[in-house]
């Protein structure tokens, strides 16, 4: 029984650390007011998008460490992204961001996974 629990826990850990959130942007295309930045993320709110909580809309605080394109209004932004898990808090990630009508920045999908489609 212990071995089964260990294998399940190990599998969950591997999936959580290898399946990075799908909203990481790698595309350089976008609108003139889009941002491309690097930064660290701290999750604030998790909203399940299906009955099994496989995908979620996550609201987070992004602390920008480097700006590639655009002019962020602040070094700390509230963002939303769609993913299976939170971003690791001890790593820096690249984001393509687009401001929503509500004033929150949306992390655009890289086209491979599910995320906000920024066209």
* For residues 20-42, average pLDDT: 69
C-alpha of 71 from chain center: 20
* Structure token pair of residue 81: 């992204």
First-to-final CA distance of the chain: 50
Residues 98-111 pLDDT 10s: 998 888 999 988 66
pTM, to two decimals: 0.68
Tens of pLDDT, residue by residue over 43-91, are: 999 888 888 878 889 999 999 999 999 999 999 999 999 888 888 889 9
User: C-alpha distances in angstroms, 54 versus 31, 92, 109, 118?
Assistant: 30, 24, 17, 22
- Give domain limits for the chain: 21-107
Determine the Cα angle at 16 with ends 84 and 29, to 5°.
55
The pLDDT confidence band at residue 23, using thresholds 50, 70 and 90, is very low
């Amino acid at each position: 029984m212990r071995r089964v629990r260990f294998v399940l826990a190990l599998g969950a850990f591997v999936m959580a650390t290898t399946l990075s959130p799908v909203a990481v942007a790698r595309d350089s295309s976008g609108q003139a007011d889009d941002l491309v930045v690097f930064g660290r993320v701290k999750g604030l709110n998790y909203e399940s998008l299906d009955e099994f909580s496989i995908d979620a809309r996550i609201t987070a605080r992004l602390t920008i460490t480097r700006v590639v394109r655009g002019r962020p209004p602040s070094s700390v932004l509230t963002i939303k992204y769609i993913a299976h898990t939170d971003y690791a808090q001890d790593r820096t990630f690249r984001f393509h961001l687009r401001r929503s009508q509500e004033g929150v920045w949306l992390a655009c999908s890289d086209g491979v996974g599910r995320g906000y489609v920024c066209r």
